[in-house]
Structure 1
Amino acid sequence: MEESGKNLSDRGVYLRGTGVIGWPLASLLLLLKSRFGGFRVFVEPFRLQKSEIPQLLSLSEKGAELVDDGENGVREYFPHWVFKQEALDRSQVLCDSSPPGIAEKRIGEYETSEYDRIRLFIAQGSEHKFGPQFLYPESAPRSEADLPRFLHVSTCNTHTLAGILRPFYEEKPSELLSVLEEADFFVIRRDADMAKNDPHVTGPLLVLPESESGTHHGRLLNEVYEPLGFRLKISSSSITINSPYMHLIRFRVRLKKEIAREKILQRIATDPFLSVTELISTNSIFSSGRDRGLYGRIFSHAVFPTNALEVQGKEVRGYAATPGDSNVHISTLYAVYRGLGFVWGSEVEAFLSAIVLRSV
């Protein structure tokens, strides 16, 4: 796992935020740490509330080192903790899993001398100004060279859009240029995360188009492909509905030549980060993940209801559900490994693909 000549004594990952993204990310890092070793996991909660003590206690019991930043109150509730600067001095990668918009506002802070030892800053989700987009496995070739110091792991729906197109090529995403005529996506967004006290919309709410290609969803997907040297003809539209469970994407793909439905299903089945289901409602899919998935999550990029997949000659239509609280984590873990200077080998990938709930 380790690149030659590296000293692991102070190799650490610093996590900020322990919500619906941060807690499972920390748990997965601790799982990797227990299996492969080689790094430490520091966790900084934001203004700790008593209600958050159980989830932080679970991380501490798994081996996380809790960070007191002087204001968050960690030392008031936990006998063992470390100062923020001590943790930063022993870390090389920082993952900011704070609510949307906060990581972008911290860019100036991260450029100060306090964070000089951090080689890679990672933000997940809607932090578009934080750095270039990153999505594994599509963006993996970029990581063979040096990664930028600031990296933005793509949104959950961008992961699902990429997952929808992945069964249409054999090996490299650039093969889509010779396969795909056009793709249109209709993103049906859930409005609130069930773990938060967010208000619901009262009815379908339009997400307005921003360009000729429609809403931002298609643009973000092409921003994943552009560093690989190509763009696709993609259009997208979106509404937000009053559901707390999962986003759902309706897709229509026009190909340059016909493809058999069995071929698509075979490629979905052999992709380690895609899932299938016989269920036809997002609440049932979500509930299945909660009941059977590791930490109650699905972790795949997309969940395909196979009975809804239609293939008519060169046109393919279907649905894919977005595991919005977990499908960014494999990409984040890959970036963390690269930032730490570790080799992402077949053993690590096999270990992580095993946590994906492939049949939902």
Structure 2
Amino acid sequence: MSRKVVHVVGTGTIGEPLIGLLCDFKEDLGIDEVSFHKNTPLTTDRSKVKSLMSRGARLTTHGEKFDGFNAIGLKPEFQTEEAIDRASVVIDCTPKGFGHANKQRYYEKYLDNTEGFVAQGSEFEFGKMYARKINDSALVHGEDKFIQVVSCNTHNLSTIVNNLALIDGEDNLIEGRFNLIRRSNDVSQSTKFVPSPQVGKHQDNEFGTHHARDAALLFKTLNLDLNLFSSAMIVNSQYMHILHFHLKVKKP
């Protein structure tokens, strides 16, 4: 039986805690090995990378950057494509746009020997949309090689629809309206903080913000066509999000 290797690309707000989580629960999850890609050798990130390595994760980077990492006391074990090639699953946690670039540059070359490639909510159209316990039945093993895990807000919105409206029938929802009040940035981030609340624009005439659009597309993988509309605003806080919703249903 082949070894189950999970490779995480990126060590930012999503990547770092995910790598640690996979390492800590490796045995429970049936994972043999965790590796991760770090793009740039920064002394400011050295303690973070050392911590991940001490928990069992194996460092990888581009071949030409090995010397830079060695110079700051970090020893990479695999080059970029070597790490992807030996992975069972690749999880891309890079900033917006990089997931698509990595897909074209690397991932599409390793479809034959990799179970799947997973990207985060910002990578729209990276692959089939997925939210845990919402559309698990829509995933086709061996066919859906590229998966986009929808954003936290889309998860929240979809869970409310699924558990409060669709539980009484797939045609029970007449319409859903949502207002997402979002934090300015994450506690680990030092940029993009706003000094006062900012109201987002309705970029989509049918759905409002991308949250309802993504949720509607998520449910379309289950052949459901839902009437959803969302608005969003950002507040000057680092606390978690608030979601206000109004559901109109046939059967209360």
Length-normalised TM-score, structure 1: 0.63
Distance in 2 (CA, whole Å) between partners of 1:176 and 1:218 is 20
2:190 corresponds to 1:197:
yes
Distance in 2 (CA, whole Å) between partners of 1:249 and 1:86 is 42
User: Aligned to 1:129, what secondary structure does the other structure show?
Assistant: coil
User: Aligned to 1:177, what secondary structure does the other structure show?
Assistant: coil
Count of residues in Structure 1 that have an aligned counterpart in Structure 2:
248
Counterpart in the other structure of 1:153? 149
Distance in 2 (CA, whole Å) between partners of 1:111 and 1:255 is 42
Gaps of 5+ in 2: none
- 100-109 or 14-23, which deviates more: 100-109
- What is the aligned counterpart of 1:187 among 158, 180, 185? 180
Distance in 2 (CA, whole Å) between partners of 1:37 and 1:213 is 39
Q: Structure 1 pair 47/114, CA: closer, same or farther in 2 (3 Å)?
A: farther
- What is the aligned counterpart of 1:125 among 118, 121, 127? 121
Q: Structure 1 pair 252/118, CA: closer, same or farther in 2 (3 Å)?
A: same
Q: Is the 8 A contact 1:185 1:252 kept in 2?
A: yes
2:212 corresponds to 1:218:
yes
Structure 1 residue 231: deviation in Å? 1.6
Q: Is the 8 A contact 1:204 1:240 kept in 2?
A: yes
2:25 corresponds to 1:29:
no
Counterpart in the other structure of 1:208? 201
Q: Structure 1 pair 174/145, CA: closer, same or farther in 2 (3 Å)?
A: farther
Q: Percent identity?
A: 29
Q: Structure 1 pair 97/136, CA: closer, same or farther in 2 (3 Å)?
A: same
Distance in 1 (CA, whole Å) between partners of 2:151 and 2:8 is 18
Q: Which residue identity is paired with 2:137?
A: P
> Superposition pairs for residues 1-360 of structure 1, below 5 Å?
7-9=1-3, 11-70=4-63, 71=65, 73-76=68-71, 77-79=73-75, 81-111=77-107, 113=109, 117-168=113-164, 175-209=168-202, 210-258=204-252
User: Aligned to 2:125, what secondary structure does the other structure show?
Assistant: helix
Q: Structure 1 pair 89/165, CA: closer, same or farther in 2 (3 Å)?
A: same
Q: Is the 8 A contact 1:214 1:236 kept in 2?
A: yes
Structure with the higher helix share, 1 or 2 = 1
Deviations 1:163-182 (A, max 9, x none): 2223326xxx5755343222
Q: Is the 8 A contact 1:8 1:39 kept in 2?
A: no
Deviations 1:204-240 (A, max 9, x none): 3222111133222111111110010112221211122
Q: Is the 8 A contact 2:134 2:159 kept in 1?
A: no
Q: Is the 8 A contact 1:213 1:236 kept in 2?
A: yes
Distance in 2 (CA, whole Å) between partners of 1:177 and 1:115 is 35
Q: Structure 1 pair 158/138, CA: closer, same or farther in 2 (3 Å)?
A: same
User: Aligned to 1:104, what secondary structure does the other structure show?
Assistant: helix
Distance in 2 (CA, whole Å) between partners of 1:13 and 1:82 is 14
Counterpart in the other structure of 1:349? none
Length-normalised TM-score, structure 2: 0.87
Deviations 1:39-58 (A, max 9, x none): 21111112031222222222
Structure 1 residue 79: deviation in Å? 4.3
Deviations 1:149-168 (A, max 9, x none): 22111011100101222332
User: Aligned to 1:41, what secondary structure does the other structure show?
Assistant: strand
Q: Structure 1 pair 115/143, CA: closer, same or farther in 2 (3 Å)?
A: closer
Q: Which residue identity is paired with 2:15?
A: G
Structure 1 residue 143: deviation in Å? 2.2
User: Aligned to 2:117, what secondary structure does the other structure show?
Assistant: strand
Distance in 2 (CA, whole Å) between partners of 1:138 and 1:53 is 38
User: Aligned to 2:234, what secondary structure does the other structure show?
Assistant: strand
Distance in 1 (CA, whole Å) between partners of 2:221 and 2:117 is 19
Q: Structure 1 pair 8/205, CA: closer, same or farther in 2 (3 Å)?
A: same
Structure 1 residue 144: deviation in Å? 4.4
Gaps of 5+ in 1: 1-6, 259-360
